[in-house]
Amino acid sequence: MQTGSLLGHTTSLPSTSNADPSCAYSPPKEELKTHFITREGVYRIMTLAEYSKPMRGPGNPVAAQATGTIGAAANLGAGAPVRVSFLVVPNCSNAAGTPSLPTGLENGGGDGSRSQDNFEHDILANCDRICFNIGRELYVYYYRGTECASDLSKPIDKRVYKGTFPTSHQFNAETATSTSCNLIIGFSAGQIQLIDPFQKEYAVSRLYNEERIIDKTAVTCLKWVPGQPTHFLVAHTSGCMYLYNEELQCPQTPPSYQVFKQGDRFTIFTCKAKSSKNPVFKWQIGQGSITQFAFSHDGQMLGVVGHDGYLRVFNYHHMELICVMKSYFGGLLCLSWSPDNKLIATGGEDDLLTVYSVAEKRVICRGQGHKSWVSQVAFDPYTSVIEDESYLPGQTSPAELEDDAAALSTSMPRPAPVGQQSFSRLSFASFGTSIGGGVSGPQPMPQIGTFYRIGSVGHDTQLCLWDITDEVLKSNYTVQRHRNSTVIAPTTTDSSTAKSDKMSDSGNNTAPKEKKKNRLHRRGLSIAAKLTGSGGDRWLRNREANVNPAKAQAIEEARLLGTKCCPRLEEVPMIEPLVCKKISHERLTVLEFRRDCLVTACQEGFICTWARPGKGSISLVKREGSSPANVPTIPAPIPHEPLSNGYGVGTQQPYYTSAYWRGDTSIK
């Protein structure tokens, strides 16, 4: 491992003047969107507030491919997704991350004795920090928000790693100060590093799993445990999670584990040791890699998604499984908790957004808008409307969440109606109801109670925004249960068919043999027979499961399809995005909502800031031919605080791009 400047000079591109014109031609890239319109106004990209790699040299895999210097060193880290972490500095007067002027200078005053360096130092002291990885490099900068241009020439810290590359990182917000903060970094070889990027002179650095004796697989996600400032949780592609204490040492020999707690497809181990050492606990969950996990805002629950397609929600402190959801197809790649800890949004390889209710233990809706894998989802707490204070972050108890009846009976006051239009276009075709068309006569004005804004980005390079209203949250759940009960109808049809076959074959001499063969054939293919068959059937089932685990998993998935854990497409509402825009040429990997902006990042290594309506300096937008500076602004309230009184009066309808680019959907 080394810390230093990036690699040297770049090689020039080979001349194509004498080359074959057919080989030199490359189709132009599709124009990217630099703004988009929602009901609250226009979101604009702050071009000069972009963060990226300072120098585009051979060390960058993307630039290396462009310059023709592809090799083992250039390809190292090319498959690692770009991740972004933010740190909100404590005692900062502007929580949005935008630099605030020092005292006495906010109104243009000052005594004239303060130097320019001190003036700039005071501004940077109030800035948030941003950390991002590109390939095998890691950068830490001051995040200047939507009012100041980014300065890539003065990073707080930058590191270049050899032999491995960072895959995930997070600041410890509970112990951070304006001059010190712990940052944990996970790597592709399984190691975990703890550094303090603000204290360069002390070179604070610790390594965990340095010899890779705890786990040899790559780190996929790691987070500090809420309420436990010295503990952090690390997930690996092996399907295991490990709880570390930064104050404990790692063993020199492979640790020996004993079962501490066991449940449905998860086991928790603890180390057998005379003295306390890392890892404190080992979680083995499901089958396959754990792609992401997230703590609820009150720190009581833990949501985990993986390549097996399951979302599992645990009571973290009691180590108990609360509920489970199965994706419609493929693995799940991301999840996010709602501000009130009642909903979880997930996305993955089925190209769908799925919203799951932890309180009701059912799928609320699915969203169809992406054309490739969904790589990241996030709730927007600053445009969501949550009227009931009993569900604010930090006030939800696990006992209330486990009691469905208490959660469903909670009444929420309704704010004033927003308008005649619905927020997300909800498809009720499967329920025999139509909205906006097909129904004659005046339509009632929708009454919006609880309202959630969700964002998602994917490998298709598109940003989608979704609105979840009471119309979706309370959409004919009784009809869904009725439809679920009718799924058993094919079994009745098979019985009647069997009776008719028996009557038609009564005069045939070979009927007994054929009847026996058909009955055995149906028994062998029946899932119910495999689950509740005779002793011989159960022995055969167990033998097949041991010989072919993939077949057993397929049977399990078929058994779950059509249940509350994994409803069919026609059994839950299917919504469309309010906004769907192509904003990158490479697959998107990051989406985070902040008070004055939202931040996105792509695999190419560009971290973009999108100012909210009424926020951001117009000087940070490049005025070119297609500059969004000339786009008319829709009147809207300035969201200094999370909105709770509705939205602006914009009536712009959502529009979509006609072409899309499908990114590389392989996970390396």
Among 425-434, 476-485, 575-584, 626-635, which range has the highest average pLDDT? 575-584
- Whether 189 shows a pLDDT value over 50: the answer reads yes
556 three-state secondary structure: helix
pLDDT value, residue 516: 45
Distance between CA atoms of residues 222 and 243, nearest Å:
10
- Whether 378 shows a pLDDT value over 50: the answer reads yes
The tokens describing 18, both together, are: 């004498």
Lowest mean pLDDT among 143-147, 221-225, 258-262, 397-401: 397-401
What region does 436 belong to: left with phi over 0, alpha with psi -120 to 50, or beta?
left
Query: pLDDT > 90: what percent of the chain?
Result: 49
Beta-carbon contacts of 363 under 8 Å, excluding residues fewer than 6 positions away, are 325, 354, 355, 356, 357, 564, 566, 567, 572
453 three-state secondary structure: strand
pLDDT value, residue 267: 97
- Sheet harboring 574-575: ordered strands across? 332-337, 343-348, 352-357, 362-368, 574-575, 426-427
pLDDT value, residue 312: 98
Residue 612 pLDDT grade (very low, low, confident, very high; cuts 50, 70, 90) = very high
pLDDT value, residue 290: 98
pLDDT value, residue 621: 87
Assign 3-state DSSP to the chain and report helix, strand, coil percentages, each to 5.
20, 30, 50
- Whether 531 shows a pLDDT value over 50: the answer reads no
Give the pLDDT confidence of 465-515 residue by residue, as tens digits. 999 998 898 876 444 443 333 333 333 334 444 444 444 444 444 444 444
pLDDT value, residue 387: 66
Task: Give the pLDDT mean for 185-201.
Answer: 92
Give the pLDDT confidence of 426-478 residue by residue, as tens digits. 433 333 332 233 333 333 434 457 889 999 999 999 999 999 998 898 876 44
Query: pLDDT > 70: what percent of the chain?
Result: 59
Cβ contact 31:625 at 8 Å: no
Q: Which residue has the higher pLDDT, 337 or 666?
A: 337
* Pairing of β 462-468 and β 452-458: antiparallel
Give the pLDDT confidence of 321-367 residue by residue, as tens digits. 999 999 999 999 999 999 999 999 999 999 999 999 999 999 999 99
What region does 524 belong to: left with phi over 0, alpha with psi -120 to 50, or beta?
alpha
Task: Give the pLDDT mean for 378-403.
Answer: 61
* Pairing of β 128-134 and β 137-143: antiparallel
pLDDT value, residue 411: 34
Q: At 179, which amino acid appears?
A: T
Q: Phi and psi (nearest 5°) for 192?
A: -130, 130
636 three-state secondary structure: coil
517 three-state secondary structure: helix
What region does 463 belong to: left with phi over 0, alpha with psi -120 to 50, or beta?
beta
pLDDT value, residue 244: 98
- Whether 573 shows a pLDDT value over 80: the answer reads yes
In DSSP terms, 561 is beta-bridged to: 566
Q: Which residue has the higher pLDDT, 229 or 397?
A: 229
In this prediction the pTM is 0.71
Helices in 605-664 by DSSP H: which ranges? none
Pick the closest to residue 259 from 272, 249, 268 (CA basis).
Answer: 268
Pick the closest to residue 565 from 265, 282, 187, 274 (CA basis).
Answer: 265
- Whether 572 shows a pLDDT value over 70: the answer reads yes
Cβ-count burial 614-639 (b if 16+ within 10 Å, e if not): bbbbeebbeeeeeebeeeeebebbeb
Lowest mean pLDDT among 314-323, 504-513, 636-645: 636-645
pLDDT value, residue 55: 58
The tokens describing 48, both together, are: 């000069």
Query: In which residue are the tokens 């049977």 written?
Result: 555
What Rg do the C-alpha atoms of the chain give, in angstroms? 28
Among 9-23, 306-320, 546-560, 637-651, which range has the highest average pLDDT? 306-320
pLDDT value, residue 619: 87
Number of H helices, E strands in the chain: 13, 33
Cβ contact 592:86 at 8 Å: yes
Q: Which residue has the higher pLDDT, 372 or 69?
A: 372
Distance between CA atoms of residues 414 and 385, nearest Å:
10
pLDDT value, residue 541: 54
Q: H-helix or E-strand containing 323? A: strand 320-326
Cβ-count burial 278-301 (b if 16+ within 10 Å, e if not): bbebbbbbbebbbbbbbbbbbbbb
Task: Give the pLDDT mean for 584-606.
Answer: 96
Q: Phi and psi (nearest 5°) for 620?
A: -90, 0
Residue 79 pLDDT grade (very low, low, confident, very high; cuts 50, 70, 90) = confident
Task: Give the pLDDT mean for 244-248.
Answer: 96
Residue 218 pLDDT grade (very low, low, confident, very high; cuts 50, 70, 90) = very high
Give the pLDDT confidence of 126-159 residue by residue, as tens digits. 789 999 999 999 999 999 889 889 999 989 999 9
Q: Which residue has the higher pLDDT, 234 or 490?
A: 234
Pick the closest to residue 338 from 290, 298, 373 (CA basis).
Answer: 298
pLDDT value, residue 550: 67
Whole-number average pLDDT of the chain: 73
What region does 102 belong to: left with phi over 0, alpha with psi -120 to 50, or beta?
beta
